[in-house]
Amino acid sequence: MEIQVGGYETPLIELANATIFQMEVPILEYVNLSIGQGEFVYIVGKTGTGKSSLLKTLYGDLPLQKGIGNVVGADLKQMNWKRLPFLRRKLGIIFQDFQLLTDRNVEDNLSFALEVTGWKEPKAISQRIGEVLKDVGMGDKRLHMPFKLSGGEQQRIAIARALLNKPSLVLADEPTGNLDPETSEDIIQLMWNINKEQHTTFLIGTHDYYTIEKFPGRILRTQGQRLIDQGMLQGS
């Protein structure tokens, strides 16, 4: 049977009767989730209710010990250190603390990310870097060091890095957690625009209720060891 979610075919994330663990303790149980191509999805909930653990399970940082899980065609139950790089090449991952290399400029940060995923041709690397920096409005920051950028600018570079390999799915764990409200809104709007323009699927863990009310998205809530699908929240 063909599965459709939110009007999109071919789910990029599928979990069935999954249990998500945190430090060997089950934190989310009976998780059933399907997210399709082109969706824009938020995970909300109180601290410690499993948002980050769910995202870490989806990108292979935590093992899926119980249940069925597939992400961009990869079986999470079969994930190991040999298969993990192939999963990561199909994903974009954005962290709260940016995780930029502080001793390298923006171009070198992005070059490194491409090289470790198999890119070898300098001209192609340079061209792709220019494309993603333009996409995030940072085309003039190519030679800047991270410490010379604001928090919002650093997160834009992190988003550019996540887009380098043209992933169909981007996972973002509290991407605005270290930013002020105005900058947070800019970052969410940037991801929302990329979703609409490039049909990239976004799954975003966040506490930023004020900002997400401004941009339409599907809401998942972690509560009482359950993942609750609240459906679409329309923007204001």
The pLDDT tens digits for 59-114 are 999 999 999 999 999 999 999 888 888 898 899 999 888 889 999 999 999 999 99
Residues of the chain below pLDDT 70: 1-9, 234-236
Instruction: Judge whether 105 and 145 are in contact, CB under 8 Å.
Output: yes
Quick one: pLDDT at residue 234?
63
What residue spans define the domains of the chain? 100-166
Quick one: pLDDT at residue 7?
41
Helical axes 106-115 vs 122-135, angle rounded to 10°? 120
Quick one: pLDDT at residue 235?
54
Tokens of residue 7, six digits: 């009007």
Quick one: pLDDT at residue 209?
83
Helical axes 151-163 vs 181-198, angle rounded to 10°? 20
d(CA 125, CA 112): 10
Quick one: pLDDT at residue 24?
87
Distances (CA, A) of 98 to 113, 151, 233: 13, 9, 27
Which amino acid, one-letter code, is at 44?
V
